[in-house]
Structure 1
């Protein structure tokens, strides 16, 4: 009823302002209600009453709500800002102050709403975003969908005003670096960046496409996902079209060839004749490289022989000639069809190709070949030089195979060639006459004339023109021209033995000696070695941009957020369902604390010794109850002094924790001797999330920013329960509380001991006894809230299994499922 009353007030407040004003006091009282939902509803209705006289009351309510402990109420305050601004734009300056405060909020629930208010009220105040830019980028992944859209739009405008457009030259330089140096598994990341450059001007496109053409010959898989990016547009210049064709040909395989052939059919109809001819050549290359579509491509090219465009027909003839060289016996009908086209085709290359094909297969078309020779003898004097040479070759082959019908014709053609204006034709004529028409002066070669003219010719190789360009460095002028340009430096081969890495060590130059009291000698530090290749390259969190210290006011706000978060939690917990509380109470009777099945010995780097100036720190999770609190995860930190001097006063400095997270630090360590090591314990309440706990690890002289991020499996404690209790709890946690996936692996990976070890290695769970050999059950509870986490691995027939997780914590369940699946699948 209360909600209906709220709706009524919002609807009729403008028409009946007096009655609406009487209800204001009710909403003001509701703004102080302990329940966050009531506070938020009251603010929502109050801001929806569009009566100008209550603007001061609305402003006061928004100010108070913006500092509320509940993020849900703060979210509604951000929504109310937009409503108040539309009602009274003169309140803009005061609203901007509230927006500035809410932009500093670290809750993902508030981020999208306050950015929406920013876009509505003051989109030109870019200065408000500066200090919150990185935070918004980090929160973007966890914000709800509509909030992500708003933030992305705002960040897009921000980036276009604050950042310089990236140089295409830099992208190309990084791409060639990865290509020549990086392992194959890592080189694939450059493909997306190169494809993005194809949106640039035509000059940049030309260079990028040339480099992609070279790469795609050796590594097709890099660019196969972006196949459609290389489809030709009608607005592309010819040089770009031909390069895209080259790349499409390199990427063609059995899976995508049918799609590409349909695309090529469209290209053949293009008004750009050079491009259409290049497409026909591309179809020929696909036919030679993919045998499954050879006949399809050949039939398609034969259909093009009836095209109205003479250039298309001529190019088709040339390509068909090359394809028939590979399998001439099977396609006698095609040769006959091409012989009939000889009268209509005028392009010299095509006519020469037809004559060459007939000459090579003259014994297979014994009735057609002499007639073709008769027709071409009549037009010999008017033919192109290329065609004349093939007429001479055809006459010689027919003279050797069918002398009875063609002897006189061949002699006539040889006489015409003897007096031709072109000396190449005259020379070829004399050569052929001496071979096929023996006389007293003929040598021994005339005996082998048939073997010379009718020998089996090797089929041509249709290769990419970019095949041999990979020895040039990508992105260089030499690679573009396919020839070594002046000043080009070739890339050296990889050395068989690695040179001495010590040449890259940096010596520390002592500029001035420190003053020391008389009679006391100061120990000199030995030269510190940097960048040693023998050391492991480990990522350390101290290199993050968050290492900058914040101002005192921000620190104060962080403390307010963290101290007030407990109140927020209590108010939020009031909205939990009573059924959930009853279920937790019942389950606590059925389950008891279990012991870890397995404690993995892997450690994580907290502080690298190079970054810590000799102080190294590693941490691991011992999977034992935390002595500092029931809701905390136990973390053990091992500190090592790798220097030759004592490190004093090691302690935890400033803490930068998300809202609600708490940390119990170790007691300060007075000193750590050279080469000494010590292990200390900490307790961290991660609030059932994998958010990072950031803090400063300090010594007497320095502070280092470090962070601990827990794997989701370390946020659990094992639970001991019976199979009956497990099934009962699982039945209560079905529906939306159930997450599952299918696993495929070898049968040996589904042995009971293997599954137990793999699951326990990922998550701190307890094994539940099972009466079925094909079902493995594990139980745990979250450290912070004590919510049950039930894991089931059910083996199916063959090599599949079903992984099921039941819990109220659906986010943790999805993350745990994502981590368990690859572990159980691998051998």
Structure 2
């Protein structure tokens, strides 16, 4: 314990204070920095008071490590024992105006934000033109101050929009993300929402971390709820996230995209979906299960788009029928089911669908796909021309009748005697009830000519 029974500081603690004070004046900068960090853990005014005079000179030390920790120590002392350094905000503000090290400036600005907010706001407004050139950590501290001030006084929001818009163009991803979030919290204007959402989309295509992409998609989904029209304008930028191999990102992107499809962008969306569907055919860097799942997502997206927007039905059907070949695996079963549904719901598309099915029939290998295609052709081929064309195409692909497994022809130079098998014997019952032995020879080749 640092105090005796009478509550007064023990005499031994004077030795502790002297030791810490000597470390604060040590020529070695790392000893000074460690001593300043130790001061931040002292919570007794009687221990801290003798050290104040040794802490302040460290703000002018040549090494940034010492200056950085000196600001921390002053912040701690002022927050716990304001009477020991009553002019700490003024001292730190002067230090901030003259300091060039980024970490030192960040610590000093953060100290002002927490201990003297008005002074921090004044410093921010005086240096508004320099904010874009500040370091990333200092810019994040400025954004935190802006949010804090605007929560306390919403009428001041307009004065900080300029700073936020400038920080939206920062090269740091964290600054851009926080700037967009701050802008959304301060303004619901379509221009502000569009600028923030655009930056989210830019980060979505440039960041490689999957967790970051999922967070960005969640933010875009939240914006969609209240700003649907604005988000629809950025749909194509969001679809760039489909280039990620992660299925969670692809699934969430397609779910978001299907809610934002309109008559103005549906053609572009179908083009992107077609491109992605064809890209899965040549993709070799993922497992077949993942490819199958992704193809199903794309097929479902195309199907729902064709149902919602009949005007683009022919384009969607063309895309779907183009992937009925065997190279697309089990997803072709879903495709033929969707083609069947579209054929039933959109009668005006039936002639085109029948033509596409007949063209794709030679490439179909899966029994379920062929069965579905034949059902559609038989059900919806109503005119004589369609019936004749369908019948001829089917017969050309079926082959000659009767349907039988053919055996390879014998070579011309083969000796007929080589095709004879050894004589076979079997016991037969004659007409009078007696038994007899029958000997027969069979040819290995079946001759059907009469």
TM-score, normalised via structure 1 length: 0.31
Instruction: For 1:254 and 1:14, locate their aligned partners in 2 and report how far apart those are by CA, in whole Å.
Output: 78
Give the alignment partner of residue 97 of structure 1, picking from 83, 90, 96. Answer: 90
Match of 1:274 in 2: 308
List alignment gaps of at least 5 residues for structure 2: 151-156, 166-188, 206-215, 282-290, 396-450
Q: 1:321-340, aligned counterparts within 5 Å?
A: 321-331=354-364, 337-338=372-373, 340=375
Aligned to 1:261: 295
Matched, 1:76 2:110: no
2:232 to 206, 218, 230: 206
Matched, 1:154 2:142: yes
Number of aligned residues: 317
Q: 1:65 to 1:193 in 2, by over 3 A?
A: closer
Corresponding residue for 1:128?
A: 123
CA distance in 2 between partners of 1:337 and 1:42 (Å): 80
Is 2:256 the counterpart of 1:233?
yes
**Deviations along 1:191-228, whole A, 9 cap, x unmatched?**
83998997572223334448x79xx9xxxx99967995
3-state secondary structure, aligned to 1:106: coil
**Residues of 2 paired with 1:282 and 1:122: CA distance?**
62
Change (3 A) 1:230 1:339: same
8 A Cα contact 1:32 1:39, kept in partner: yes
SS of 1:48 mapped into structure 2 = coil
Matches within 5 A, 1:22-171: 22-88=15-81, 94-104=87-97, 105-123=99-117, 125-131=120-126, 137-138=132-133, 140=135, 148=137, 151-155=139-143, 157-158=145-146, 161=157, 162-164=160-162
TM-score, structure 2 as length reference: 0.51
In 1, the alpha carbon distance for the partners of 2:383 and 2:3 equals 89
The yes-or-no answer on 1:248 pairing with 2:282 is no
Preserved contact between residue 318 and residue 356 of structure 2 (Cα < 8 Å): yes
Equivalent in 196, 202, 220 of residue 192 of structure 1: 202
Q: 1:279-309: CA deviations, max 9, x gaps?
A: 9964742664998956766443224478xxx
C-alpha change, 1:271 and 1:45, in structure 2 (3 Å) is same
Could you tell me how far apart the structure 2 residues matched to 1:231 and 1:163 are?
A: 33
Structure 1 residue 84: deviation in Å? 1.7
Any idea what the Cα deviations from partners look like across 1:746-791, whole Å, max 9, x if unmatched?
xxxxxxxxxxxxxxxxxxxxxxxxxxxxxxxxxxxxxxxxxxxxxx
Tell me how far 1:75 sits from its aligned partner: 0.8
Unaligned runs of at least 5 residues, structure 1:
1-11, 142-147, 174-188, 346-350, 367-827
Q: Write out per-residue CA displacement over residues 86-105 of structure 1, whole angstroms, 9 at most, x where no aligned residue.
A: 42356786232233133231
In structure 2, the CA distance between the partners of 1:63 and 1:238, relative to structure 1 (3 Å rule), is: same
Q: What is the Cα deviation at residue 106 of structure 1?
A: 0.6
| 289 and 251 in structure 1: CA distance in 2 versus 1, 3 angstrom threshold | same
User: Higher relative contact order at CA 8 Å, sep ≥6: structure 1 or structure 2?
Assistant: 1
8 Å CA contact 1:339–1:358 kept in 2: the answer is no
Whichever structure has more helix as a proportion of its residues is 2
Deviations 1:704-748 (A, max 9, x none): xxxxxxxxxxxxxxxxxxxxxxxxxxxxxxxxxxxxxxxxxxxxx
Q: How far apart, CA to CA, are the structure 2 residues paired with 1:67 and 1:274?
A: 69
- What secondary structure sits across from 1:49 in the alignment? coil
Q: Give 1:441's aligned residue.
A: none
Alignment partners' CA distance in 2, 1:273 and 1:14: 81
State whether residues 324 and 336 of structure 2, in contact with CA within 8 Å, keep that contact through their aligned partners in structure 1: no
Cα deviations by residue, 1:659-681 (Å, 9 ceiling, x for unpaired): xxxxxxxxxxxxxxxxxxxxxxx
Say whether the 8 Å CA contact 1:96–1:122 is kept in structure 2: yes
Q: CA RMSD in A?
A: 5.5
